[in-house]
Structure 1
Amino acid sequence: MNAMGERKGSGDGTVGKALDALELVARQGKPVRFSDLLAVSPWPKATLYRLLQTLTSQGMLAHDEETGTYAPGLRLVQLAHIAWSRATLAPIARPFLDALSARVGETIHLAQLDRGQVLYVDKRNAVHPVEMYSEAGKIGPGYCTGVGKAMLAHLPEAERAEALKLQSWHRYTDTTLTSPAAFEAEAQVIREEGIAFDREEHETGIVCIAAPILSPSGRVRGALSITGQTRRKSLEDLAELRPALCETARQIAAAAADWQYPD
């Protein structure tokens, strides 16, 4: 992935190319013409056309004959809904997120790891909403977000080393960690304290406190965070919410242990 969370082209043959083409369309955020896709495509015209035709015939993309544009298809929407309900913590965590949101009145994020990056799977807005990058379904960096740091720090050493190789180490702000060595030093503290902090590392003016969601054996299932804006809340203010945060993370972990996450 690059600094914006976009995946580089895969080397997994035709299937990998088709998935990359599907993501290329989805990332445009609106119906898009073939010529516009070709301008940002890593493939020649004939290859891109063939991939789009296959995806369209399979219902993964929809092609509007009138406008000549491509957009995600209904079959993709159906599969995405199934994945969201069966492969993420979101359905199980929903009542716990609702309760935590009502209790603290701040922005709540639920996330899981996707190839070393953060996949936001659910969010609750604060009483005073925070304008920020994260939304459910978005991918964010692992090394400089609270939820990402909480999850990466608790991975087994070999898995963490592989995940750190996938980070861009882009400097978003003056406080962003920019090397594996710097991250490892903080990861030790995160493991000892059981929480991670985002000290305006991804977005200026945005701070958060995060806790990992772990299986009974200590495997990383996800992470939970409480986020605030520095003009309203300091990191010390958010740290006072640690008991509520950690209690909710444990509740979600307990609920997930009885679901689809065998150790």
Structure 2
Amino acid sequence: MISPLFLAHGSPMLAVEDKPYTRFLKQLGDGIKPEFVVIFTAHWEEEKVTVSSHNGVYDTIYDFYGFPDELYKVRYPARGNVEAASKVTESLTKQGIAWTTDEQRGLDHGSWTMLHHMFPAADVPVVQISVNPYLSPAAQHQIGAALRDLTKQDVLIIGSGVTVHNLRAVNWGATKPDAWATEFDDWLIQHMQGNDLQTLFRYRTEAPHAERAVPRAEHFVPLYIAMGAGDLSRTEIIYRDYEFGNMSYMCVKF
């Protein structure tokens, strides 16, 4: 069994940086040998759950601009896997969750910047899946829960996002985390480790600084998907740091 993960993908510069977080990702990948990876990425939004299904090499999507040239030279030639995608869609069907497949889309930076460090040989098949930020936290959790049995088959499920993600609030010169950002993450940790799922579903009205931390939910909902795929009572904070004052790099194992 491989525990599901929520991982912060932060800046695209992760792909070319050597810092504590990238070294953490490498160590994390070194300790996991999955049959395949299922990754829900904040940078692919669809109304219906959309599952990548092909056996070819993914294109590396550079869904950002204004970064150094070296970043656009990185390639992550992971392969898809139709059989793996079928296992995902079968699990979704059993729980009554509507889905469709995609045979063309490459890996966006919510996926490849982290996988590049975790599995640098690109030898682990990847099934990339979209998110719908307009669904409720409970519905996000249900999507993850539909895939829970896959974790018993040595499948690594990753929710790729950021808990505190407000680009308008970043403080480029910050030398320590902003209090409001850490207070929001502290609230999440308290209720995750307290196995308090219903309160977590009400984060928008009950968590401190929720509107500021999550102005739009696309980066936040992968947390609930990973949570649903795992066991909330086994919540473990496996990494925590902040960049630019309030961009959270908190990572959670469920």
Interval containing the TM-score (normalised by the shorter chain): under 0.3
The structure whose RCO (Cα within 8 Å, separation 6+) is larger is 2
Task: Give the structure-1-normalised TM-score.
Answer: 0.26
TM-score of the aligned structures, taking structure 2 as reference length: 0.26
